[in-house]
Amino acid sequence: MNRREAVQYISLIFGGTVIGSSAFLAGCTSDNKSQASMTFSDGNVALMDEIAETILPTTKTPGAKAAKVGAFMTVMVNDCYQQPDQKIFHEGLVKINDMADKKYGSSFEKITPQQRQELLVELDNSSKDFQSKINAEYAKLTDEEKHEFTMKKNFDGEDPWADKRRKDPNYFYTMLKQLTLLGYFTSEIGCTQARRYIEAPGRYDGCVPYQKGDKAWA
């Protein structure tokens, strides 16, 4: 799975724009080179690994933590995100710990797996509700406005509604979830163990047997 396929895959899951995707496709060459990126501590990376592992846990195949998704996030946020998104992301890490402490009396890393899942489901539902409002607003656009939106998104490499999305109080979670999926399914573990992988594929076969639960092809 190459970068473009990965972005399309994640975009399909979320039904919207993958934040920072244009810079990711270009090899993470964003305007942030001339800007002061925020520093991630080892504690931040450990927290991101635990959040990612809650989203994609280890089962029969290694999970997001084994794929070092936390380290992947630091590169994406620093090199591919605009400064407003960087700020929201960092503040979100603090918010998750604050929410865990307020609800369960401890930091995210110290609460139980079930409590972690409950907390992230709460954030996920909130973000989905906000995205539904964005989708409803998009549906009201004229065909000409939708065309203009698509042109800016696909050819200018920008999200015309980035400011609207940032108004989501849990926007940081959308970024965390997108980066978890993107980091995992572009990692060696994600491509070769979570998906069916052929190093040197042969002919194209447009019709193959499929059973429910079969892994997708990398």
The pLDDT tens digits for 175-217 are 999 999 999 988 989 888 876 666 656 666 677 777 787 776 6
> Identity (one letter) of the amino acid at 24?
F
* Interval 49-74 mean pLDDT: 96
pTM: 0.77
Cα–Cα nearest to 50, from 105, 5, 2, 106 = 106
Q: Residue 7's pLDDT is what?
A: 47
Using DSSP's 3-state secondary structure scheme, residue 156 falls into coil
* Interval 57-84 mean pLDDT: 94
Q: Residue 194's pLDDT is what?
A: 74
The C-alpha atoms of residue 194 and residue 53 are separated, in whole angstroms, by: 14
Structure tokens at 213: 């639960």
Q: Distance of alpha carbon 89 from its chain centroid, rounded?
A: 12
Q: Residue 211's pLDDT is what?
A: 78
Q: Which band of pLDDT confidence, cut at 50, 70 and 90, is reported for residue 5? A: low
The C-alpha atoms of residue 74 and residue 38 are separated, in whole angstroms, by: 10
Q: Distance of alpha carbon 114 from its chain centroid, rounded?
A: 22
Residue 16 has pLDDT above 90, yes or no: no
Q: Residue 213's pLDDT is what?
A: 74
The count of other CB atoms within 10 Å of the CB of residue 132 is 11
Place of tokens 């933590």: 65
- The domain locations on the chain are 37-193
Note the pLDDT tens digit of each residue in 143-176: 999 999 888 877 766 788 889 999 999 999 999 9
> Identity (one letter) of the amino acid at 22?
S
Helices 42-55 and 113-139 cross at an angle (nearest 10°) of 80
Note the pLDDT tens digit of each residue in 91-127: 999 999 999 999 999 999 999 999 999 999 999 999 9
